[in-house]
Each structure stands twice: as structure tokens, then as C-alpha cells.
Amino acid sequence: MANTCIVCGQAAGSGEHVFPAALGGRRTNKNIYCTTHDNGYSSLVADLANQVDVLNAMLGVVPDHSDDVKSVLARDDSSGEEVRLSVKESSFTSPRVISQELVANGVVMNMSFPSRQALNQWLAEQKANGIDVTPLQKAQEHPYYLGAVHHQRRFGGPCGLGAVAYVTQTFLAQAFPALARSGDVAQFIAYTQAIAKLAQISSGCGEPNDGPANPRLETARQAFEAALAPWGGQAPVWWDFDIQPDAAPNAFEFGHRVTVGVDASDGQIFGRLSLFSSIHFGMRFGTASAGAETKTVTVDIDPMAARPPNDIKKVESASAIARVAVPKQPTAGLAAAISNGSQDGVFSELLRKIEARSLGKAAAKMHAELAAYSTLAEFEGEQLISRVLEGQAQRVLNIAKWVLQNFKATLPAEVLPGLQPTIDAMTAHDPSSTNGLTPMASATLALAIGALAAQLREDIKAGRLDEHRIAELMGEGPGAAVVGRAVLAPIVQALSQ
Ligand SMILES: [Zn+2]
């Protein structure tokens, strides 16, 4: 029985990921879906994976079908060019012309390439097109500083919720194989099937579509409405902004949690999914026939674990503490959370935690790099500190910007118009320069790096430079004070004259 597809009853054996591979799931199970029905859910999973890809990229999740960390495409505000972002690096996706000048026999161009490989490929393409390119100087590696980067993603929607329902349904089938095939959850499976069919059609998830309307879309929409009818016309899955009933913290930092269970008192078959320990969903699968036992299975999933066995932690209990309270209006919780700001709060809190983790990692790396300081002569030691800070220059630039923006906010209204252009110019971007900054912004960055270098040296000599202190100096606290004193000095001087 356990070897049949929970949708159609035919032989299972597709070996799909129990938790989606794109979200860092590492385990597969051949006992849940046939190949047709496994594949049928893939568009739905892709929709959810797209929605959280920027979070996966910021955390450095390696999708299970990939060898490299997740990256996302975004747009650099100052150059307008596309950039690829991941925890490892940010780079432009295409060659960039920084400047060009007509000369007697052609054009002199100053260009930038994402990598040496991209440069060589471009040279080969020009040659193939009969264009003669002569490098005037050897290629050099330069950092490029990004300004605001835009990456927009919608989150949730009918397909996002449908994907959440499908993922949790798969865990229900794994933990309660007989129940999943009993017919007690048939209406829930019909719902995930119907939303999965919508997701397979272009614009079925509500995304804009310029092309002609697909006639299949209307049919799929009607089938979806029909699948919702037994649920009162509402999806049996919803956002949950309440405090989670299972107080046990996730076993992993930024871990996902799937909870499935049955409450014998009234037969409720319930499910919960928490993404990144932050974004919570609840759902009701149906009602179990008499004779069911109360049981809950909770699985924590580490999206950052490269492979089994330490990627999951499973707990079984004979309680139904995680049972759900079905909202009268499944969308009411979300609507309220959007209007009172708590949905925004969930995301900004998650982003804050991810940023804190990234700062901690940078501090650990710098601490390791600076360990050699004590073995070096004074001059070499200074060079080491500068090198280590240059490696974090984008972070230093961001601190300088943060300091200047905050300073601007404290200025009295009568001096603001006079000073604002200067303050903004101090960290202005210039996409036509090699490093993406104006000369004035480059000078501000150099000032900030110099000030932090002096502080790092002082702290090393005083024996107080541990990872925690480095994180403070590279963040928006003590570090901002150090950077602030340096970059604000010229303005303060001008003001006092
Ligand atoms: Zn099937």
C-alpha cells in the first residue's frame, strides 16, 4: 500500500525530494508519488522557490541539484546593468563599456568584464565577427562598488500557498502513509492537484503575461474553483502570524520546520510549515475516520547542510499541541498583518537576522586573516590590516553611507539645503568609473578605511580585538562612530568656520 501514488493509486517510485531540492532539501522518497504526479507539482514548487530565492542567495543555500550556492539576478541602480548576487560574490552578468572614444582608425574603449573567462569569450566573438580588437593594456582586477540593488519578488499568492500545501502534504504522506491513502485527505489532494495544474499554465499564478490568453487557463481556473468548493471556496491553507504552539526552537539556524499530525479528539488532520524559522503557515488536511491515534511528527530541516545525515531532525510525540485553529476567513490573518505592518515585520526581522549572520561570518574571516599580525613587523602589519579592510570595502562604504544619511537626518532645516548636496556627493556612484564611485566617494571610502584601520591596530595592541569586537567595528554601532568621526570631520570643520 505504501508503494502507491497518493494521488492516483498507481505504483509510486518517482523518488522526489520530500522537501524541495531548490530550498535545500536533501532527502528523497520513492513511496509517495508516481512520476506523472511528482512532475505535475514541479511548476508549483518552482513558484515557491522563485519567491524565496533571494533569501536562499543571501544565506548561501546550495540547491540539491547544484554544486554552487544560490544566486539571483538583480539590477544595479547606478549603472542600470544586471548583476548576479550570492553570498560568495556580486558580478555584472555582461561586459560593460565604461567609456569610448573615436580615434583615427577605430574606437578606444575602456571596458569591464565579469571575469577573465567573459573577457576571453568576448574577444573570441569579436574576432569571429571580423572585428579587430587590440588590448592596449593587460586586464586588471578591480572591485566595483554597488549602490542600491533592486530585486523585486512577490511572496505568497495562491500558488505560493499551494506549494506550501503540497510540501506539507508530502510530509503527511511520509509520516502517515495509510492516512494519506485513506480518502480522509482526498479533498486536500484534489486542491493541491488543481492549484498545481494552474501553476503549469503561463500566468496561472497571476503573473503578468503579454501573450494571448491561454484557453486552458479558464478551464484550469474552473477546476480550481471546483476543488475549493468542499472547503467553502477558500484554500485549506493560510498564513499564520500567531505565536507557534510548539515552543521548541528549531534545531537549525534558519531551519525550516514541517509539522503534521492527527488529533484523535475530533479527528483533525493538521499541518504547519515554517520557512527559515520565520514565515509560518497552517493548514487542515481533513478529518480522520474514527480509530485514529493522536500523534504529531515534526521535522526540522537545515537548508545550509550539504548532505545527510545531519540535515534533518525528526521528533515524534503523542500530543496534538500543534493542531490548528481554522480561521473563518483564511485570508483575514494575512490582510490584518499587511495592514498593521506585522507581515513587513516578519520579513524585515528575517532580513536583519540574515544580515547579522553575514556580519558574523565577515568578522570571523577577518579575525582569522588578522591572526598573522603578531608575527609581522610594524609596516607589514599595517599592510595586512589595510588588505583585510579592502576585502570588506563594500561593507565599509555601506557604513559610511549609513552614517552620512543619519547625520543628514539630524541637521537643522535651515542648514540642510546647503549641506545636502555635499553629503550626498560624498558617497555618490559613477557607473562610468572603474570602481563605480566618484573621486569624492573614493576619497570618503579611503578615509573610512583609514579610520577603521587605526582602530583595529589600536584594539590589536590593547589585546581586545576578538571576533565580537570586529563585528562591532564592521557594523552600525562602534564602527559607525569610528567611520563617522573620520568622514564627518570635513563637514564639521566647514560648519564651524
Ligand atoms: Zn500518480
Span 43-86, pLDDT tens digits: 999 988 888 888 888 888 888 878 788 887 878 877 888 878 87
Cα 35 to middle of ligand 1, angstroms:
7
Tens of pLDDT along 346-401?
888 998 999 899 999 999 999 999 999 999 999 999 999 999 999 999 999 999 99
Tens of pLDDT along 395-413?
999 999 999 999 999 988 9
Residues 6 or more apart in contact with residue 316 via CB below 8 angstroms: 295, 296, 297, 298
pLDDT at residue 209 greater than cutoff 80: no
Cα 23 to middle of ligand 1, angstroms:
23
Cα 182 to middle of ligand 1, angstroms:
15
pLDDT at residue 151 greater than cutoff 70: no
List the Cα angle 269/273/274 in 5-degree steps: 150
Cα 11 to middle of ligand 1, angstroms:
7
How many angstroms separate the CA atoms of 9 and 1, rounded?
Answer: 9
Cα 32 to middle of ligand 1, angstroms:
9
Cα 10 to middle of ligand 1, angstroms:
6
What distances in angstroms separate CA 465 from CA 389, 457, 459, one per listed residue?
Answer: 14, 9, 5
Cα 12 to middle of ligand 1, angstroms:
7
pLDDT at residue 1 greater than cutoff 60: no
Ion ligand 1 nearby residues (CB, 5 A):
5, 7-8, 34, 37
The pLDDT value recorded for residue 38 is 92
Cα 222 to middle of ligand 1, angstroms:
22
The pLDDT value recorded for residue 238 is 93
Give 2's pLDDT tier (boundaries 50, 70, 90).
low
Cα 5 to middle of ligand 1, angstroms:
5
Cα 98 to middle of ligand 1, angstroms:
55
pLDDT at residue 483 greater than cutoff 80: yes
CA-closest candidate to residue 245, choices 282, 197, 202, 211: 282
The pLDDT value recorded for residue 490 is 81
Give yes or no for a contact between 171 and 299, defined as CB atoms under 8 angstroms apart: yes
The pLDDT value recorded for residue 154 is 67
At 299, which amino acid appears?
Answer: V
Cα 40 to middle of ligand 1, angstroms:
9
Give 298's pLDDT tier (boundaries 50, 70, 90).
very high
Tens of pLDDT along 245-264?
998 999 999 999 999 999 99
Supply the mean pLDDT for the chain: 89
Cα 34 to middle of ligand 1, angstroms:
4
